[in-house]
Each structure stands twice: as C-alpha cells, then as structure tokens.
Amino acid sequence: MRIGILGAGGMADALGTQWARAGHALMVSGRDPGRAAATAATLTAAARAADAPHGLPATAGTFEEAAAFGDVVVVAVLEEAADQVVRAAGPALRGKPLIDVTNAVGPGAYDVTRSVAERIAALTGGHVVKAFNLCHVDVWRMTPPVFDGRPLAVPLCGDDDHALGLARTLVTDLGCTPVHGGGLDRAKLLEATAAFMIGLWISGADAQAVLPPLPHSGPHPDEP
C-alpha cells in the first residue's frame, strides 16, 4: 500500500515506522522539508532493519505530493493546523481514503458539536476514518501493543467501506485489533472519549480501570 502522511512529527514517525516495517511505501510531508526528510530516513532505516517485504525507501515531499502519492492519506498534524494542512494538500484528497489521528486537547479545545474528522471530510471531500487517537505516541512504537496478553483494540469510525478496509489493514499491521465504532457521525464521541481519558491520565488515574471487562458489561444484542 502507498501511504501519504501529512505531518512529520511523533505520530508520523511512530505509525510510519510500523507500516514501513510491514512493507508499505510511504511519503512524509511537513512544513519543514528538513524534518520531513529526516523522518523519511528513519522510516527507511526501520524498513531495512526489519527486512521489510518490498524494501521500499520512504520519501519526503510537500503536502500536495504526499496527498497525490497515497492510496490512503494519514492526517498526523496538530489539530489546530489540520484545516490549513489539508487545504495545502489540495484536490488530490477528494474522494480519497483519509485517516484522521488528531485530537483537540487543552481547556476549551474540544468542540462537542462537530468532530475534527467531520471537519476534515467537509474540507477535503475525502472518505475519512477516525482512528489511532486514543493512545500516547509511545504506544504506537510498541511491537506489538499488547497489555496483559490482550492486543490493543483500535476503534474506527467512518462511512466508506473501502476506507474502513484499508484502515483495518493498517491496524492489524501494528499487531492491534480493529473495532468498528460506527459511522463518521460517531467520531465526535471517539474524540470526546480521548479528551476525557487524556484528562484522567494527566491527573494520574488509571483510565483503563474505569470500564469493566466485557463479561461484566451487561447483556448484548447477539446473546440469547
């Protein structure tokens, strides 16, 4: 798969490293060409060290070039820069599968009326899937993210079957389990979950302990 990444920071590096090891071709983009090139070099080194199936080097380009390059494009920039970045990426994003990993964090930053993912969809005309937004960047550096014997589950919110299928592949490439979280209209709930849980983690609470295990979560529709 060809993956264009809008952004050259921690999430681009962490997720991109895992996808490079899985054999995908990547192009990284950013406002700073030097940083984008350095991130691309890191991803190339990771692929070669892992003897990735295709051994393709990662490259660096502009936002517009990364948008045109990818079979899927990952929006991995600060939330406050997302609008400007996807506009800079241009018309290549229209109709394309997009994965939004951003979070609006900080007091008053989260908008309960509309998700960042829906905003990106409206600006680009792309098929957006919200994913990878519930964990700290260092979790995505784990190979794989497994806790107490359970692979990390990654919720996906989106409307387009093709885009969701590509997102599921990228989740499993990390050793994680994709979980259908509903349509893109539910992305605002996924973003709200991140905003709430991040606040608990920052306060030192074990946010994972907030919810009971599945057998204790009440009756389910598929049960007799």
Mean pLDDT estimate for the chain: 92
Q: Which pLDDT value is given to residue 56? A: 74
pLDDT, average across residues 86-101:
98
| Percent of the chain residues topping a pLDDT of 70 | 95
- What's the pLDDT tens digit per position in 27-70? 999 999 999 999 999 999 988 888 877 667 899 999 999 999 99
| pLDDT > 70? residue 108 | no
Q: How deeply is 223 buried, as exposed, middle or buried, from its count of CB atoms within 10 A (0-12, 13-18, 19+)? A: exposed
Q: Residue 168: pLDDT band by 50, 70, 90 thresholds? A: very high
H runs (alpha helix) in 125-186: 161-172
Q: Which pLDDT value is given to residue 212? A: 87
- What's the pLDDT tens digit per position in 117-161? 999 999 999 999 999 999 999 999 999 999 999 999 999 999 999
- Least Cα distance to 118 among 61, 150, 79 occurs for 79
Q: Which pLDDT value is given to residue 204? A: 92
Q: Residue 219: pLDDT band by 50, 70, 90 thresholds? A: confident
Strand order in the sheet with 177-180: 59-61, 25-29, 2-6, 72-75, 97-100, 127-130, 153-158, 177-180
Q: How far is CA 115 from CA 130, 139, 157, in A?
A: 9, 23, 11
pLDDT, average across residues 77-93:
96
| pLDDT > 70? residue 177 | yes
Q: For each of the domains in the chain, give its residue range(s) and CATH number, in order of start.
A: 2-216 (3.40.50.720)
Q: Which pLDDT value is given to residue 113? A: 75
Task: Please state the pTM of the whole predicted model.
Answer: 0.93
Q: Residue 202: pLDDT band by 50, 70, 90 thresholds? A: confident
